[in-house]
Structure 1
Amino acid sequence: MPTDLELQVKTLPNLPGVYQYFDKEDTIIYVGKAKNLKKRVSSYFTKNHEYGKTRVLVKKIVKIQHIVVDTETDALLLENNLIKKYQPRYNVMLKDDKSYPWICIKKERFPRVFMTRRVIKDGSEYYGPYTSVKTVHNLLDLIKQLYPLRTCNYDLSQSKIDSGKYKVCLEYHLKNCKGPCEAFQDEESYTDHIKTIRNIIKGNFKESIDSLHEIMMGYAEEMNFEEAQRIKEKLDSLKNYQAKSTIVNPSINNVDIFSIISDETHGYANFFKIMNGAIIQSYTTEIKKKLEETDKELLELFIIETRQRFNSLSREIYVPFEVEVGQNIKVTIPKLGDKKRIIELSQRNAKYYRQEQFKQIKIVDPDRHTKRIMAQMQKDLRLSKEPRNIECFDNSNIQGTHPVAACVVFKDGKPNKKEYRHFNIKTVEGPDDFASMEEVVFRRYRRLLEENKPLPQLIVIDGGKGQLSSALKSLDVLGLRGKIAIIGIAKRLEEIYYPGDSVPLYLDKKSETLKIIQHLRNEAHRFGITFHRNKRSKSAIQSELEQIPNIGKQTITNLLRKFKSAKRVKSASLDELIEVVGNSRAQIVYNYYKKEKK
C-alpha cells in the first residue's frame, strides 16, 4: 500500500461516517458507510480479497475522503445521496424512478385528483410512486365513481364563481361533476370528499365504508330507497376494490415489508406496504452486484432507497434477517404466524420476479442465459472451467442379460442428441456394473483421443463411489486424470461424489445445477433402457424362430427383414413365405406353425 494512502488510513477517526475512494483521475469510484471509519477502510487494504473486482478497486484507489456523521442513520442517508449524485462505478445502483406514475391532489380551490409522472413542488399532495399504471387507473376510476370531482383547470375563486364567469360543461350533465363552477356544490362538501379520497388512496377504507353505510341507512330510514340503492352501489364498489387488495391481517397496520433472494450476479428484492391489513403497494426489482455484495448489504441499500422513493413514513419494517437501517425504524424478524407468512409471500414475489427475468433473458439474450447457467454450475460443482460439454454414462442390464451402456452428451446445459452413443459390453461376463463402467469409459475416450476430437469439461457417472472409481481407472490408463473433471451422482439422496473424497456434496434440491445433472442422468437412463429393451426384444424374436428345426441364421434374418416380427411370420401365408425363403424352407416354417396351432 502506498505511503500517502497508509497515512490517510491511519489518521481516520473511529467514528461513524461515509468514505469516498478516488482514482488517479480524481473521480469518485466508490462510496461506502461505516460504523467505524478506520476499521472499515483498513479492511480493504489488509484483507486478501478473493473476488477479482474488489482487488481491482483497491488497486485503483489513490485518495480517500471521509465525512463524519452523528449517527448510523445519517451515514445510511448520506451514502445513498452521494451514490445517486456521483454514480460511482463500483457501487450498486437501483433503477431510476422517473417514469413511475403518481396520484396528485392539486393544491387549489376545489382540488383536482389526477395521475401524473412529474412531481412539482407547488404544495400539492403526491401519492406513490405506483409500479403499475393499471393500479392508478383502477383507483382513479373508483374515486370518480364514488365522488364526482371536477376535471377542468379553471381558477374557481369565489369572486369568479359569483360573477358567473363559468358555465357547467358536459361532465356535469353526465353526473361526473357536481358543478362547483356555478356554485352547484359548496366548498365544504367538496373538501369532505377530498378528505375521504385521501384516506382511500392511503389504504384507509374503514372510515369511508362506515360513512357510506351510515348515509345509506339514513336514506333507508327516510324511505328514500332510490338514494339508498345509489349509496349501496358505491359501498359495493369500495368493498370490491378493497377485496382485490391482498388481505393479510387487520392488526398489521402501516408496516413496510422487505425481502431478497440472490444468485451469483444479481439480487432480487421485494417491497410491500401494508395498511389496515391490506397490501396497498408492491415493488420488485433486480439489483446487479458490483463487488459480490451480501444479501444483507443489498437489502439495506434497497430499504433506504425504496423508503425514500415511496415516501414511506412507517416506523416499523418486517425483514427475513437482521439489518442495520438506523435507530428511527423498528426492525422485526417474524418467526411464525401471519407476520411470518407475509415475509414468505414477499420472498415468493422476489423468486417469481427472478424466474420471469430468466425467461425473458432466455428469449431476448440466450447467450447471457447460457453464460449465467454455466457460471453457476462451475461455482456449485467447484470446477476449474465452465462445463460447456458434459458427458454422462449409465449401465443397463436386467438379471445380467444383454449388458449395454449409454453415453449422453449435453452442450451448454442442453441435450445434444446427435452425439449420444450406445455401447454393447464386450469384455465383461455377467452383471458387473463396475467393470462395465471401466470398459465403456475407456472405449469412449480412447476413441476421442484417436480421432483427435475435443474432450468434455465434465464427466458424470450415474452411480456412487464404486462406479466413479472404475471410471477413474480408465482415465488413469489414458492419462486423462486431472484433465477432465469427473463426478458420480448416487440415486438415493442425489449426493455427488468427487474422486478421493469420501464426503459427498449435497446441492440445493431446487438449484439449476442439480436439475441439469438430474436431466443428464435421466436421459442416460432412458437412452440406455431403450437400447436394452430393443436388444432383448430382438433376441426374444430371434430365439423363437431358432426353435424351428432345420432353419439357419440367414433364413431367420431374411424372415425378420421382411416380416419384422415372429408374430407376422406366424400369420404369413405359404405363398408369402415362399416369396422370401423359397419353397422347401417356407414349407418347414409354415408346417411348424400349423402344428403349433393344432
Structure 2
Amino acid sequence: MFDPKPILKNLPNLPGVYRMLNAEDTVIYVGKAKDLKKRVSSYFNKNLASPRTKMMVSQITNIETTVTRSEAEALLLENNLIKSIMPRYNVLFRDDKSYPYISLTGDAFPRLAFHRGTQRKGHQYFGPFPSSPAVRESIQLLQKVFKLRTCENTVFANRSRPCLQYQIARCTAPCVNLISQEDYASDVRHAALFLLGKTSEVMDSLADGMNAAAEAMEYEQAAVLRDRIQALRQVQAKQFVSDFSVSDADVIACAEIEGQHCINLVMIRGGRHLGDKSFFPKNAQDAELVETVEAFITQYYVAQNTPPMLVCGAEIDKTEFETMLSEQAERKIRVLTNAIGDKKVWLKMAQTNAELALQQRQATSANQQARLLSLREALSLAENTERIECFDISHTMGEATVGSCVVFDRGDMQNSEYRRYNVTGITPGDDYAAMRDVLTRRYKKVAAGEGKRPDLIFIDGGKGQLGVAMEVMQEVGLDDILLIGIAKGEERKPGLETMIFSDTGEMLNLPVDNPGLHLLQQIRDEAHRFAITGHRAKRAKARITSSLEEIEGVGAKRRKALLTRFGGLDAIKSASIDEIAQVEGISLALAQTIYERLH
C-alpha cells in the first residue's frame, strides 16, 4: 500500500503542478493547484465522492510536484504536460493548434485575409473563429460593406487595370490608384472597428462623412456612405447579440449521454454570433461534467485568445479560473456560471447543440459498428478485429509517387494516425516497388514496438500488390496479420470489388447492399483520397521547380526571386519580358530566355 504521508508532509503551500504515477512509473494524472499541499492532500481523504477518482488514487505509487510562480504559470505547465504525456485519468481534448482568424495586413494598402498559424508583428488579427466558413462569410461581408482588397501582394503589385472584384463593387481598386491611401486607410479603420464590435462608432463616422459630402454637394460619395450605413444596419439586425455587455464572449455548455461527453462552444466576436463548434473529449468515461468543462477551459484557452467573458453551463470554481485566465491574458476575464436573461437562452441553445451533436455521433458510431460486425461476418474475421489499416499508391506516369496509410479504429476513421510516404529511388511507375517501400517503412517500426499493431490490413490492388505485401510482412516478422487485397471491378464500378485473402488465396465478392462492403469501400476510398491529395501537392511543387531549374542561368536565388514576385509558375508564364526583367537579378537577355523557354 502506498503511504502518501511522507510526501504530503513536505509539500509547500504554493501554486504548482502535481503528477500521479503508478507501479510502472507511468504518469496517470496531471493536475494544477494554487496550494499544492491542500490540493494533493484532498485526494487521500476517506470520503472521495467520485468512483473514477477512487480508482485513480488506488493506483498511485508516487507523486511528483513542480512549484510555479503563479496560478497562470501552473495552468500553462499543466496543459503542456497533459498534451505531451496524455495521462490515463485526464480528460483530453484534441489539440487544435491553429484556429482561423481574419487578418488585416500591415501593407500600405492592407489586405483582408484568412489566416491560420503564427501571428506576425505589424498585422491585425481578429478571432478566433469556430470554422473556416465562418471566416470566409465574414470576409465576404466586409468586402460588401468596406470594399477592401483580398488579392495576394504578387497580384496586387502587377495589376494594370481593375479586376472583377472592382467591377462587382467588392473592392475600390487601390492596385491602380482608384482610391487614395488616406481614404483606403479610413475604410480599413472602419473595418477594424466593426470586427471589434464598435459598430455604433463606425456608423457615426459614416454618418458624419455622408452629411459632409452632401453639404459639399458630393452626392455620389454621400450615396456610397448611405449604402454602407444601410448595409451595416441590416447586418446588425441579423447577426448582433444585444444582451452581452462585451462584444467578445464564449458560451460553453456540456452534455452527457451514456457516459459520452460533448462540449459545445458558441463564439461571439465583435458583437456577432459567429457559430459554434462541438468537442468530444477522450478519457471522459465516468468523469463528472464539471471535470470535463474544467479540462476544456484549461486545455483550450491556453492556446487561444480568451475573450473578456465566458458563460459556462457548469458550476466550476469561477474565482480560480478568473484569476488564472486574467493573469495569463493580462486583462480582466469574467466567468459566469449562473446565467440569467438572454445569456441563459444562449446557454440553453448551446446545451441543445451539445446534446444533438452527441446523438448524431452515437448514431454514426452505431452505424459504423453495424458495418464492422457485418464485415467480420462476411469475411469470417475474428471477433476482436477492430483496427484496420489500408494502403494506396498514387502517381502520374511515375511522377511524384506518394503512398498513403489510413486507419480505422475504435469504430471510426482516425485522422490523426494517417501517414503519407514520399517514395523515391524506384523505377518510375513501379507500383510493386512503391508498395514494398511504404509497407517496409511502416511495419519495421511496428515490429520494433513503435506504434500499434493492426488486426487487418487492406491493400488497394490485385494479386501483384498483395504478393508484395505478403513478402514484406514475412520479412519484418508480422506474417500472422491477415492481408486482403481489394481488386477493382469491371470499369472500376463501386460494388464490383473482389477481395483476395493472403492466408488462403480465396477470392470473394460481396453483395452490393452488404453493409460490410460499404465500410470496406469507405476505408479504401479514404486511402485513395489521402494518397492523391499528397501526390497532387508534391507534383505541383515539383513541376514549378523543375520548369525553372531547366533554364540555364536561373539558379536557386533567381528562382526564389521569380516565385516571390509572381507567386507561381502560371503567373510567370503570363508575365511579359519587361515584367520578368524587373525582377532583381534578371537581365533583359535572361528575361527573353525565360519567356521563350516557358512558351
Quote the Cα distance in structure 2 between the aligned partners of 1:86 and 1:366. 32
Shift of 1:143: 1.3
1:358 aligns to 2:351 (yes or no): no
Quote the Cα distance in structure 2 between the aligned partners of 1:348 and 1:203. 22
The match for 2:223 is 229
1:32 aligns to what SS in structure 2?
strand
The match for 2:77 is 78
Shift of 1:235: 2.0
The match for 2:7 is 8
Over 3 Å counting, the alpha-carbon distance change for 1:118 and 1:239 in structure 2 is: same
Quote the Cα distance in structure 2 between the aligned partners of 1:341 and 1:172. 39
Deviations 1:223-267 (A, max 9, x none): 544443333322222222222224232645545444434455244
Letter in 1 for 2:353: Y
Letter in 2 for 1:233: D
Kept after mapping to 2: 8 A contact 1:76/1:325: no
Over 3 Å counting, the alpha-carbon distance change for 1:247 and 1:316 in structure 2 is: closer
The match for 1:325 is 321
Quote the Cα distance in structure 1 between the aligned partners of 2:311 and 2:94. 22
Deviations 1:253-303 (A, max 9, x none): 545444434455244334445567654564443345547433333333333
Kept after mapping to 2: 8 A contact 1:17/1:37: yes
1:214 aligns to 2:208 (yes or no): yes
The match for 2:18 is 19
The match for 1:459 is none
The match for 2:161 is 168
Kept after mapping to 1: 8 A contact 2:19/2:29: yes
Kept after mapping to 2: 8 A contact 1:20/1:66: yes
Quote the Cα distance in structure 1 between the aligned partners of 2:23 and 2:127. 41
Letter in 2 for 1:132: S
Pick from 167, 186, 195: which aligns with 2:189? 195
The match for 2:35 is 36
Letter in 2 for 1:355: L
Deviations 1:322-347 (A, max 9, x none): 523042355465768xx443134213
Pick from 159, 165, 174: which aligns with 1:180? 174
Quote the Cα distance in structure 2 between the aligned partners of 1:6 and 1:275. 49
Pick from 285, 292, 297: which aligns with 1:298? 292
Kept after mapping to 2: 8 A contact 1:101/1:130: yes
Quote the Cα distance in structure 2 between the aligned partners of 1:145 and 1:177. 8
Letter in 2 for 1:81: N
Over 3 Å counting, the alpha-carbon distance change for 1:173 and 1:39 in structure 2 is: closer
Pick from 288, 305, 312: which aligns with 2:306? 312
**Which range moved further: 352-361 or 324-333?**
324-333
1:31 aligns to what SS in structure 2?
strand
Shift of 1:349: 1.6
The match for 2:380 is none
Unaligned runs of 5+ in 1: 370-598
Quote the Cα distance in structure 1 between the aligned partners of 2:312 and 2:363. 33
Quote the Cα distance in structure 2 between the aligned partners of 1:173 and 1:297. 52
1:168-567 alignment runs, 5 A limit: 168-171=161-164, 174=167, 175-249=169-243, 251-263=245-257, 265-274=259-268, 278-280=272-274, 282-288=276-282, 290=284, 292-314=286-308, 321=315, 323=317, 324-327=320-323, 328=326, 329=332, 331=334, 333=336, 339-365=340-366
Quote the Cα distance in structure 2 between the aligned partners of 1:368 and 1:131. 30
Kept after mapping to 1: 8 A contact 2:260/2:285: no
2:144 aligns to what SS in structure 1?
helix
Deviations 1:82-121 (A, max 9, x none): 2223322321112332464321222333221111333354
Quote the Cα distance in structure 1 between the aligned partners of 2:244 and 2:285. 41
**Which range moved further: 86-95 or 98-107?**
98-107
The match for 1:151 is 150
Q: CA RMSD in A?
A: 3.7
Quote the Cα distance in structure 1 between the aligned partners of 2:11 and 2:211. 70
Kept after mapping to 2: 8 A contact 1:204/1:275: no
The match for 1:105 is 104
Quote the Cα distance in structure 1 between the aligned partners of 2:251 and 2:52. 32
Kept after mapping to 2: 8 A contact 1:249/1:277: no
Instruction: Point out which structure has higher relative CO (alpha carbons under 8 A, 6+ apart).
Output: 2
Quote the Cα distance in structure 2 between the aligned partners of 1:172 and 1:334. 46
Quote the Cα distance in structure 2 between the aligned partners of 1:295 and 1:243. 35
Shift of 1:307: 3.4
1:41 aligns to what SS in structure 2?
helix
1:30 aligns to what SS in structure 2?
strand
Over 3 Å counting, the alpha-carbon distance change for 1:239 and 1:31 in structure 2 is: same
1:131 aligns to what SS in structure 2?
coil
The match for 1:452 is none
The match for 2:140 is 141
Quote the Cα distance in structure 1 between the aligned partners of 2:244 and 2:47. 50
**Which range moved further: 57-66 or 314-323?**
314-323
Quote the Cα distance in structure 2 between the aligned partners of 1:38 and 1:122. 42
The match for 1:480 is none
Quote the Cα distance in structure 1 between the aligned partners of 2:82 and 2:131. 26
Quote the Cα distance in structure 1 between the aligned partners of 2:349 and 2:159. 54
The match for 1:537 is none
**Which range moved further: 64-73 or 46-55?**
46-55
1:61 aligns to what SS in structure 2?
coil
Larger Rg over CA atoms: 1
Shift of 1:68: 1.6
1:67 aligns to 2:66 (yes or no): yes
Kept after mapping to 1: 8 A contact 2:248/2:308: yes
Quote the Cα distance in structure 2 between the aligned partners of 1:35 and 1:189. 52
Q: What fraction of aligned residue pairs are identical, expressed as a percent?
A: 30
Kept after mapping to 1: 8 A contact 2:253/2:350: no
Kept after mapping to 1: 8 A contact 2:312/2:335: yes
1:203 aligns to what SS in structure 2?
coil
Quote the Cα distance in structure 1 between the aligned partners of 2:5 and 2:240. 55
Kept after mapping to 2: 8 A contact 1:248/1:342: no
Over 3 Å counting, the alpha-carbon distance change for 1:318 and 1:91 in structure 2 is: closer
Shift of 1:311: 0.7
Over 3 Å counting, the alpha-carbon distance change for 1:307 and 1:9 in structure 2 is: same
Over 3 Å counting, the alpha-carbon distance change for 1:86 and 1:242 in structure 2 is: farther
Deviations 1:309-332 (A, max 9, x none): 441251676666352304235546
